Amino acid sequence: MTDPDASAPLASPPAPAVRGRRPRLSDVAARAGVSAGLVSLVLRHQPGPSEQTRARVFEAARELGYRADRTASLLARRRSQHLGVVMDVRNTFHAELVAEMDAAATRRGYDLVLSTLTPTRDERTATENLLDFRCEGLILIGPEDRAGWLTSLGQELPVVSVGRRLKSDSVDVVRAADDLGVAQAVAHLANLGHRDIAFVDGGRGTIASDRRRGYRQAMRGHGLAERIRVIPGDHTEEAGIRAAPELLNSHATAVVASNDRSAVGLLDRLARLGTEVPASMSVVGYDDSMLARLGHVDLTSVSQDAPRQAEEAVALLAERLDHGRTEPREVLLPPRLVIRSTTAPPRPISTTS
């Protein structure tokens, strides 16, 4: 009497509706003997429906193996609760950020939609793809945006740039204070007793120049202005390999590399040249990448604190979307030095071996 509907097969309890198409909201409604609107309310845990109705609806939904069609929900709902992320899936640091962002988004009731850069899909295409999905806000990891279109995009919806400085009055930014990070590395080495601390440069580029500047300032801060020594390089292993001989020719007892890859190249060449690390040379990298963490590398490095950057990026979007903030913000995070086994006090005899 309560369920005169005989159309549903008497399948075993948890059996999904195998026959025909996937069940719709109206199927659940029919089965529970209520209207579609009510089912919608119940399944989204909205207030209103009576306790008895809730039970009936849940039961019916379970029996049918009902699963809401997100596409339809999105279309009908005002908000999509989607945040888009543009990333390079092949970049391990991006990957780490995304994993954390996902958690942060979920915590706030948002869902992440990923769009990755590929040889055939540039930043702009990837971004537009996300817009097609009705994302309410966008996070771009290390965006290049030479053309400045990000700014105009920022006027249409909340946009956050992660990891890269950006002059724009509409885009929020989250990044690590690279100069501070290098300063920490220098301070660590200075505290160990090093005075001749060299730097393997990262070439031109926003990030590299921030780090170089950080090195210079830190050295001056420690009264080591005259011992500043910047060895040319870039952000590849090759750079570190090339830098090794020049490094050994200098008086340096310690070195900070502009990134981990360069530091690893350096370590490798030093080993081949018979220089012991950290006994004869302390080495600090930058990025705290997987590379640095590899057991046999175990490189002291500066961490960019991906979890925190991810959290802040999502928080910035949430602020705009949920609390109506409109003026742009920039979040500068302090990097953190992770001390591993490539740094130690200099040899007692300060003359190079």
Partner DNA sequence: GGACCGATTTAAAGCGCTTTAATAGCTTCG
Partner DNA sequence: CGAAGCTATTAAAGCGCTTTAAATCGGTCC
The C-alpha R_g of the chain, in whole angstroms, comes to 28
Helix (H, G, I), strand (E, B) or coil at 116: strand
Biggest CA-to-CA distance, the chain: 97
Q: Could you tell which of its own copies, DNA, none binds residue 41, using a CB distance below 5 to 8 A set by kind?
A: DNA
| Residues 20-79 within binding reach of DNA (CB under 7 A) | 21, 24-26, 33-38, 40-41, 43-44, 48-50, 52-53, 68-69, 72-73, 75-78
Regarding 131 and contact with its own copies (CB under 8 A), the answer is yes
**DSSP class of 118:** B
Q: 139-158: which residues touch its own copies (CB under 8 A)?
A: 152, 155-156
Q: What are phi and psi of 160, to 5 degrees?
A: -125, 130
Which of 264, 277, 310, 318 touches its own copies by CB under 8 A? 264
131 binds, among DNA, its own copies, none (CB under 5 to 8 A by kind): its own copies
The yes or no reply on residue 18 touching its own copies (CB under 8 A) is yes
Binding track, positions 62-101, relative to its own copies; x by CB under 8 A: -----xxxxxx-xx----x--------xxxx--xx-xx--
Residues in contact with DNA, total (CB under 7 A)? 27
What DSSP letter does each residue of 5-29 carry, written as one string? ---S----TT----SSSPP-HHHHH
Nearer Cβ to DNA, position 40 or 289?
Answer: 40
CA distances for 296 relative to 60, 185, 289, angstroms: 57, 21, 14
Q: Does 1 interact with DNA (rule: CB under 7 A)?
A: no
> Which token pair is 338?
């992770």
How far apart are the C-alpha atoms of 145 and 68, rounded to whole Å?
Answer: 37
Number of residues that bind its own copies (CB under 8 A): 51
Asked if 121 interacts with its own copies (CB under 8 A), we say yes
Distance of CA 71 to the CA centre of its chain: 27
Question: Hunting for tokens 């640091």 — which residue is that?
Answer: 93
**Burial of residue 294 (number of CB atoms within 10 Å: 0-12, 13-18, 19+):** exposed
In the bound complex, what is the minimum distance in angstroms from residue 335's beta carbon to its own copies?
Answer: 21
Cβ neighbors of 274 (< 8 A, separation 6 or more) are none
Applying CB under 8 A, which residues contact its own copies? 16, 18, 67-72, 74-75, 80, 89-92, 95-96, 98-99, 102-103, 106, 111, 113-114, 116, 118-121, 128-129, 131-134, 152, 155-156, 236-238, 241, 264-265, 268-269, 271, 294-296
Applying CB under 7 A, which residues contact DNA? 21, 24-26, 33-38, 40-41, 43-44, 48-50, 52-53, 68-69, 72-73, 75-78
